[in-house]
Structure 1
Amino acid sequence: MTARTVISFLMALLLGLCPPIAAVAQGFAGLGTTAEGFAVPQPGKAFAFPSDHGAHPDFRIEWWYITANLTGADGKAYGVQWTLFRSALQPGEREGWSSPQIWMGHAAVTTPERHFVSERLARGGIGQAGVTAEPFDAWIDDWRMQAAAPVAGRDAVADVTLKAAGQDFSYALNLTAEGPIVRQGQEGYSVKSAAGQASYYYSQPFYDVRGTLSLPGGDVAVTGQAWLDREWSSQPLAADQTGWDWFSLHLDSGEKLMGFRLRDSGAGYTSATWIAADGTPSPLPPGALSVSPVSTAEVAGRTVPVGWHLTLPARGLDITTTAINPHAWMATRTPYWEGPITFGGSHAGRGYLEMTGY
């Protein structure tokens, strides 16, 4: 039995001790389980960088999440995803095999014709996966998001390299931030339900990207924009919430919009942050953003809404989104839809859409 086989077996065993994450959307990485024993976000936190770029093992769930909208030298639109998830069986960290931390990585490349996906699992405490804040380094096996050479006055994640590889694809990208870190919600306290579940949430939505995709047809030089989302919490979903529809939008005007709807037994809970071109965030009240599906596709044996109508009257926004590839299905242990989109109407641009629970 190889080391990889042993680790895979142990990971399957450990994941079996967690809530059945593939059974229902709210079990995604333990999001719908009790927070007993874990730290819970509170309003008024002052983020401290670079330390908050690192891990927070007293919270149940955390992620480092990059999506990139790219254009190839061949003229095609591409999308790239790189995600590192940390999920805890117990709060705190310990060295070696006694670590309660489980790590999972997702990587994807989307083209108009194909969607390439890969997944990694790792155990904390043994060096196979982890995050250090300074110098910044996030990794699982040989997948890596790593700070470039430090520059005085620049944030620790302002300049990073991004690498991942799976069956039939790989990528190596350089990301350079041309704007500030953005705190989502109320100064980084992002409420997820009327009952008050919340996460700590900040973004770096101002990356310029250059690099190379390696695909079955050969290497493709790409340029574009990327968006980093950082969240950590212990119970961000309410008991009746079944999944979410999340949008990160780069407007051609230079402005940005983050918005999501958490679906429940009623109208759902929506939240949004309007981000000015200079990075100034304006959090919108719950319900200010309206999202509704306008087209669907049959994906992985289910009907998935892949076209959306979004309105935000406070900003004169009235747009319809279109998926670059309607079949951008993440066939991972916890399956979901994620892929690049374009949009038009009152505003034009491109972005990313993630949907869970379908």
Structure 2
Amino acid sequence: MNARLLALLLWLPTLACAQGFAGLGTDAEGFAPPDPAYRLTFPADHGPHVHFRIEWWYLTATLKGEDGTDYGIQWTLFRSALAPREGDGWSSPQLWMGHAGLTTPSRQFVAERRARGGIGQAGVTADPFLAFIDDWEMRATGPGIDTLDLTARGQDFAYALSLTAEGPIVEQGQHGYSVKSRDGHASHYYSQPAYSVSGTLNLPDGPVKVTGQGWLDREWSSQPLSATQSGWDWFSLSFDSGARMMGFRLRDTAGDFTAATWITPEGQAEPLPDGALNVAPLATSKVEGRAIPTRWQLKLPAHDLDIEVDAVNPQAWMATSFPYWEGPVRITGSHSGKGYLEMTGY
């Protein structure tokens, strides 16, 4: 059997396990469970955690062209493991997938890459930090992840961006232990939510110079969801006041689960428990034959937050091996600003 075909066949059972839906509630016997006593350590935790089943390096940016047009980009590298170990060559049980998205007000550009670990086609190193798949890169240009160069390309788009952190790394949940269900399912999770971004988008009509804000999420686990959870609605919001918020709703037949982190302009994080954040869809759009919520109301009474979140492009559909909605949003109401929204499992 052709080695690449074998790698593809090995990948297929885990395709749905790479991001938070459709399989992340299945048993993960033999893999490491998240530990609430664990404390994040850098730069080591910028790298892979091969004893855990799933992991991702996920960066989004809200951008603006010189003419005022809004854009958004996504760059994600997923690691999914067949076994909790390293390996050389084709014997490696580590599988990799890359997603790149570029959103304009009227178009959505999408690309996907897949790779098998151990053959040099994809991987991550912690120090100096580099995450790559084929010729897509998230590469540190200084210590840690404070400054990054980011590149990706698809059939009809590309981008090359430089990012500089303007605040500290944020630990999500309690010391980076992020609970995802009332049953106690969890992940290790941290963010760098305060990048300034500049660079160039290459679109069919030509290059576009852009500036804006970026947000990097790092998360790893083995079974982060409950078997009754079908997907999530995840928000990363940057307010004009300088404050930021991460919040999510996990849809569950036993009752939805929510969590949030409020981040001050100085980068101090306050984790907020299930129920503190109220998330309600206000309007849907027909996207690929599905009704997708593209306008939301979010309320966080602890910080007098009552906002509406609207998609820049309601058709920001990621038509990848496991399809989902992902795109930039505008914020109005008690707080104004921009952010990113990801919706899985619809």
1:12 match = 8
- What per-residue deviation string (whole Å, max 9, x for no partner) do you get for residues 171-193 of structure 1? 00000000000000001000000
CA distance in 2, matches of 1:213, 1:125: 31
1:327 match = 315
| Selected match of 1:348 from 336, 342, 346 | 336
> Which segments of 5 or more consecutive residues in structure 2 lack a partner in the other structure?
none
2:279 is aligned with what amino acid?
V
Alpha-carbon shift at residue 216 of structure 1 (Å): 0.6
Contact 2:15 2:321 in 1 (8 A): no
Q: Does 1:184 align with 2:172?
A: yes
Alpha-carbon shift at residue 25 of structure 1 (Å): 7.0
Secondary structure, in 3 states, of the residue corresponding to 1:26? coil
2:83 match = 90
State TM-score, norm by structure 1: 0.94
Contact 1:329 1:336 in 2 (8 A): yes
Q: Does 1:274 align with 2:262?
A: yes
Alpha-carbon shift at residue 19 of structure 1 (Å): 7.1
Contact 1:250 1:256 in 2 (8 A): yes
2:193 is aligned with what amino acid?
P
| Selected match of 2:119 from 121, 126, 131 | 126
Alpha-carbon shift at residue 10 of structure 1 (Å): 3.2
| Selected match of 1:209 from 176, 180, 197 | 197
| Selected match of 2:61 from 64, 68, 79 | 68
1:41 match = 34
2:271 match = 283
| Selected match of 2:105 from 109, 112, 117 | 112
2:52 is aligned with what amino acid?
F
CA distance in 2, matches of 1:255, 1:18: 37
Contact 1:19 1:33 in 2 (8 A): no
1:26 match = 21
Alpha-carbon shift at residue 20 of structure 1 (Å): 5.7
Q: Does 1:238 align with 2:229?
A: no
Contact 1:21 1:334 in 2 (8 A): no
1:139 match = 132
Alpha-carbon shift at residue 15 of structure 1 (Å): 2.0
CA distance in 2, matches of 1:164, 1:26: 25
Contact 2:148 2:162 in 1 (8 A): yes
> Which segments of 5 or more consecutive residues in structure 1 lack a partner in the other structure?
none
CA distance in 1, matches of 2:330, 2:282: 14
1:320 is aligned with what amino acid?
E
- What per-residue deviation string (whole Å, max 9, x for no partner) do you get for residues 106-153 of structure 1? 0010000100000000000011000000110000000000011x3xxx
1:307 is aligned with what amino acid?
R
State TM-score, norm by structure 2: 0.97
Contact 2:123 2:133 in 1 (8 A): yes
| Selected match of 1:296 from 284, 302, 313 | 284
1:58 is aligned with what amino acid?
H
Secondary structure, in 3 states, of the residue corresponding to 2:229? coil
Alpha-carbon shift at residue 73 of structure 1 (Å): 1.1
CA distance in 1, matches of 2:12, 2:202: 35
1:315 match = 303
Contact 1:139 1:145 in 2 (8 A): yes
Contact 2:17 2:80 in 1 (8 A): no
CA distance in 1, matches of 2:183, 2:255: 14
CA distance in 2, matches of 1:75, 1:276: 27
CA distance in 1, matches of 2:283, 2:217: 27
Aligned residues: 346
Q: Does 1:199 align with 2:199?
A: no
CA distance in 2, matches of 1:54, 1:303: 37
Alpha-carbon shift at residue 246 of structure 1 (Å): 0.1
Contact 1:290 1:312 in 2 (8 A): yes
Alpha-carbon shift at residue 42 of structure 1 (Å): 1.0
Secondary structure, in 3 states, of the residue corresponding to 1:244? strand
- The Cα RMSD (Å) is 1.6
Contact 1:11 1:121 in 2 (8 A): no
